[in-house]
Chain A
Amino acid sequence: MRAKGRCATLIAAGLSLVLAACAGESSAEDGQIEITVWHTESTPTTVEAMNEIIADYEAANPGVTVTQESVAWGDLQVKLQAALAAGDLPEITQVEPMFVRSLYAQDLLQPLDEVVDSLGEDYLPQLREMFALPDGHDYGVVHAWGTDSVVYRADLYANAAGTGTPEDVKTWEDSVEQWSAVSEANDDAHGLMLAGDAAHNVNEEVYQWLGSNGGHLFDENGHVTIDTQEMREVLEYWVELRDSGALSPAWSSQPYADSLSALALGEAATIFSFGRATYTFEDQAPDLVPGEDIKVAPNRPVGPSGDDWITQLDAEPWVVFRDSPDAEASADFLKFFYEQQNYLRWIGSVPTQLLPVRGSTFDDPAYRALPEVGTWSFWIDQQRETLASGRALPLMVTQPSDLELPYLSDLYGSEILVDMVMDVVENDKDIDEALNVAQGRADELLSPLYED
């Protein structure tokens, strides 16, 4: 009898839990402005900085509620697709540069001219041009930027006497020779570590290496081109890096974060990395001296068919969705975000990763006073040089006109390029066959989306 009573109580408790949960959902107070912001800067300090900015904005604008949601980087695309399909978009979000055209093509974006104007003449032109679309309006404003750099351990290179450093490397051939020599000279370290665990990182290398070999993913008609001589050479280079012992065999399962640890812990002498890595280095290898043991090269190696190298520009823009009744207010919030004292909080949360979008900020004493900016100034300067040189291009873009194609992210998400690389480098498939297969799959995927 007692057991039965307890059972009934349990069920009743469970039911009331469910009912309470369902009742708790209705929110939406009328007449209020509600702005939801999605971003991919999930570092706790950055989230905290955004909280402060939001608190100040809400204090200055009664009746407005701003909510931020930080999305893990790899999930933004899935989440955005889901939200698009559900018609449940946030007011403001960061997106990959390649995705702006897709959204614009569907007439989903609010022009952000006033936000760009508020940034002034000082807004770096390389950033502005990406999202100043032919209709004369700006549809995205970069929140902060960085470039992918060749980061290396000078101390490990010194063990391989006479091979020089990545700064001396001109061609892919040089790099294979040098990095394998570094592997030879160090017992536990390999010359190069790549992050091959996530499809994202493999895509990154493919387009950057292809672009550094004079190749393109899309021809003048915007049609995908994979089975080219330039791409063949990319794959051959990859195989050579593997066969020569330059590339760590752990690369194919290495998450990006672990590749940074590999450099810090002395398992790799060279990685390709963005500035956030400084935190990993300071945390895991506090004894290494920035600028002496850990250095960045101002250049990258160039492929046999290329004249110059390219690298990745990480510069997600804020975009605002026009369907929301609060789209105007959202633009106003962004203007507030870019006001210098607020903006410094944002970029000051991870200064080596989030470089300012206004050139003058680099000379702002408040910016210069940030400790990371002092310690890692050589890396920040290198990124500025790279951006100014025009060699930094966003993900999947080997030439600026690629940004006009609304289906870059389909190719990016398809893993066609990743499969090709893994088949050749890890599974010893024939290069020509892999190129053919990849071309066939990409044609099938993208041809229904071509304009002609």
Chain B
Amino acid sequence: MTTALRRVARVRWYLLIGIVVLVLVNGFPFYWMALTSVKPGTELFSFPPRFFTTAPDFSGFERLFETTNFLTYAKNSLIIATGATVVSVAVSALAAYGLTRFPFPGSRAFSTAILYAYTFAPIVIVVPLYGMFREVGLINSYLGMILAYASFGVPFSLWLLQPFFRAIPAELEEAAFVDGANRAKSAWYVVLPQAAPGLIAVSVFTFLLAWEDYLFARVLITQEELKTLPIALHDLYNASLQDWPLLMAAAVLINVPVLIAFLFVQRYLVAGWGAGAIK
């Protein structure tokens, strides 16, 4: 009995060390980012560095809003990421429903092709895409960016959603038919809610993809008023005077919405992404 207890105690001890190391390694960069954003100028370059501050100074945030178009960038990022999410999720939910409910000759080939598309890297197609968007006038437009991100979200979303749709028993829908609902209605009220964890997972995936992307935005946007947050931040970093509190203030603000959203959907993510990554 005592040996068993001791074993448990030892395991717990390792566990504790593991947790502490993990939290430190993963958490410290976030702490440092937040700290830098409120460090007064006199402490900024002090060496050894100061690991806390007693006189937080929010002028970095002030400068961010006064001397840069931060709100415009945030608006652009929000519009583009939301748009891409809506388009991508709608399109892939339709397709997943079609694939699982109405298999047709070639639908299996289509699924495979989609998997190939999933492994695509933006860097491979960014230049030809640029050339094509130029031809059809989609450079410097929200629509162009939304389409670009949405189509990068679709393969993964479709792949991930299929098992969710397949797992919903057809009887459930048929029961709704008996109640007088047509197929569209039953899909909306019966199938979609059942697939909610999957839908949430792919929404977050697509939103993040668009929110954090640098490459497409760098190449497909050349106008100041359409810049997204990542390229705006990179430009601020490249500007002649590097204002670290301002840069870190921007970094904090870019992260906040994402981390909050993450807090709420964490549960679905593990279920949703897990299911997708396994199969």
Judged by a CB distance under 8 angstroms, whether B37 is at the interface is no
Beta-carbon contact of B193 and A3 below 8 Å: yes
Beta-carbon contact of B242 and A255 below 8 Å: yes
Judged by a CB distance under 8 angstroms, whether B3 is at the interface is no
CB contacts (< 8 Å) of B240 on chain A: these are 42-43, 73, 256-257, 276
The A interface, classified by DSSP as helix, strand, loop or mixed, is helix
Beta-carbon contact of B142 and A284 below 8 Å: no
Beta-carbon contact of B238 and A75 below 8 Å: yes
Of the residues B87, B131, B140, B196, contact of A85 by C-beta under 8 Å: B131
Query: From residue A42, how far is it (CB to closest CB) to chain B in Å?
Result: 5
Query: From residue B25, how far is it (CB to closest CB) to chain A in Å?
Result: 22
Beta-carbon contact of A17 and B79 below 8 Å: yes
CA A43 to CA B240, docked complex, whole Å: 7
Judged by a CB distance under 8 angstroms, whether B82 is at the interface is yes
Judged by a CB distance under 8 angstroms, whether A82 is at the interface is yes
What is the chain A residue whose CB lies nearest that of B232? A72
CA A83 to CA B45, docked complex, whole Å: 39
CB contacts (< 8 Å) of B235 on chain A: these are 42, 71-72, 75
Query: From residue B90, how far is it (CB to closest CB) to chain A in Å?
Result: 8
CA A276 to CA B240, docked complex, whole Å: 9
Of the residues B86, B222, B238, contact of A73 by C-beta under 8 Å: B238
What is the chain A residue whose CB lies nearest that of B139? A86
Beta-carbon contact of A87 and B134 below 8 Å: yes
Beta-carbon contact of B140 and A88 below 8 Å: yes
Binds B, one of A18-26, A121-129, A214-222, A423-431: A18-26
Beta-carbon contact of B146 and A18 below 8 Å: yes
Beta-carbon contact of A257 and B130 below 8 Å: no
Beta-carbon contact of B241 and A280 below 8 Å: yes
Beta-carbon contact of A82 and B222 below 8 Å: yes
* Residues 322-336 of chain A, each 1 if its beta carbon lies under 8 Å from chain B, else 0: 000000000000000
Beta-carbon contact of A21 and B83 below 8 Å: yes
CA A73 to CA B234, docked complex, whole Å: 12
Judged by a CB distance under 8 angstroms, whether B223 is at the interface is yes
CB contacts (< 8 Å) of B193 on chain A: these are 3-4
CA A17 to CA B82, docked complex, whole Å: 8
Judged by a CB distance under 8 angstroms, whether B184 is at the interface is no
Judged by a CB distance under 8 angstroms, whether B151 is at the interface is no
* Residues 189-203 of chain B, each 1 if its beta carbon lies under 8 Å from chain A, else 0: 100110010000000
Query: From residue A112, how far is it (CB to closest CB) to chain B in Å?
Result: 24
Judged by a CB distance under 8 angstroms, whether B239 is at the interface is yes
The B interface, classified by DSSP as helix, strand, loop or mixed, is helix
Beta-carbon contact of A83 and B86 below 8 Å: no
What is the chain A residue whose CB lies nearest that of B66? A44
Beta-carbon contact of A18 and B238 below 8 Å: no
CB contacts (< 8 Å) of B85 on chain A: these are 14
Beta-carbon contact of B239 and A69 below 8 Å: no
CA A302 to CA B216, docked complex, whole Å: 45
Given contacts A11-B86, A82-B219, contact A4 B189 (CB under 8 A): yes
A-B Cβ contacts below 8 A, count = 86
B-side interface size class = 35 or more
Judged by a CB distance under 8 angstroms, whether A261 is at the interface is yes
Judged by a CB distance under 8 angstroms, whether A79 is at the interface is yes
Query: From residue B60, how far is it (CB to closest CB) to chain A in Å?
Result: 14
What is the chain A residue whose CB lies nearest that of B131? A85
Given contacts A17-B83, A44-B67, contact A72 B238 (CB under 8 A): yes
List CB contacts (< 8 Å) of B125-162 with chain A.
130-131, 134, 139-143, 146
CB contacts (< 8 Å) of A78 on chain B: these are 218
* Residues 43-55 of chain A, each 1 if its beta carbon lies under 8 Å from chain B, else 0: 1100000000000
List CB contacts (< 8 Å) of B194-228 with chain A.
196, 218-219, 222-224
CB contacts (< 8 Å) of B224 on chain A: these are 69-70
Beta-carbon contact of A88 and B82 below 8 Å: no
CA A259 to CA B74, docked complex, whole Å: 31
Query: From residue A200, how far is it (CB to closest CB) to chain B in Å?
Result: 10
Query: From residue A108, how far is it (CB to closest CB) to chain B in Å?
Result: 17
What is the chain B residue whose CB lies nearest that of A80? B222
Judged by a CB distance under 8 angstroms, whether A265 is at the interface is yes
Given contacts A22-B142, A265-B45, A284-B45, contact A86 B134 (CB under 8 A): yes
Judged by a CB distance under 8 angstroms, whether A251 is at the interface is no
Given contacts A44-B67, A74-B238, A258-B242, contact A18 B219 (CB under 8 A): no
Of the residues B90, B143, B192, B241, contact of A22 by C-beta under 8 Å: B143
Beta-carbon contact of B83 and A14 below 8 Å: yes
Beta-carbon contact of B223 and A257 below 8 Å: no
CB contacts (< 8 Å) of B242 on chain A: these are 255, 257-258
Beta-carbon contact of B83 and A18 below 8 Å: yes
Which of the listed residues A17, A21, A265 has the most CB atoms from chain B within 10 Å of its own CB? Answer: A21
What is the chain B residue whose CB lies nearest that of A280? B241
What is the chain A residue whose CB lies nearest that of B85? A14
Beta-carbon contact of A82 and B130 below 8 Å: yes
Beta-carbon contact of A261 and B45 below 8 Å: yes
What is the chain A residue whose CB lies nearest that of B218? A78
What is the chain B residue whose CB lies nearest that of A274? B240
Beta-carbon contact of A18 and B239 below 8 Å: no
Given contacts A44-B67, A75-B238, contact A88 B86 (CB under 8 A): no
Judged by a CB distance under 8 angstroms, whether A279 is at the interface is yes
Query: From residue B117, how far is it (CB to closest CB) to chain A in Å?
Result: 23
A18-B146, A82-B222, A257-B240 given. 12 additional CB < 8 A pairs? A7-B196, A18-B79, A18-B87, A42-B235, A42-B240, A73-B238, A73-B239, A73-B240, A74-B238, A85-B130, A279-B241, A283-B41
- A residues with CB within 8 A of B: 3-4, 7, 11, 14-15, 17-18, 21-22, 25, 42-44, 69-75, 78-79, 82-83, 85-88, 255-258, 261, 265, 276, 279-280, 283-284
Q: Could you list some 29 contacts between A and B, CB below 8 A?
A: A3-B193, A4-B193, A7-B192, A7-B196, A11-B86, A15-B86, A17-B82, A18-B83, A18-B86, A18-B87, A21-B83, A21-B142, A21-B143, A25-B142, A42-B240, A43-B241, A69-B224, A72-B235, A72-B236, A72-B238, A74-B238, A75-B235, A82-B130, A85-B134, A86-B139, A88-B139, A255-B242, A265-B45, A279-B241
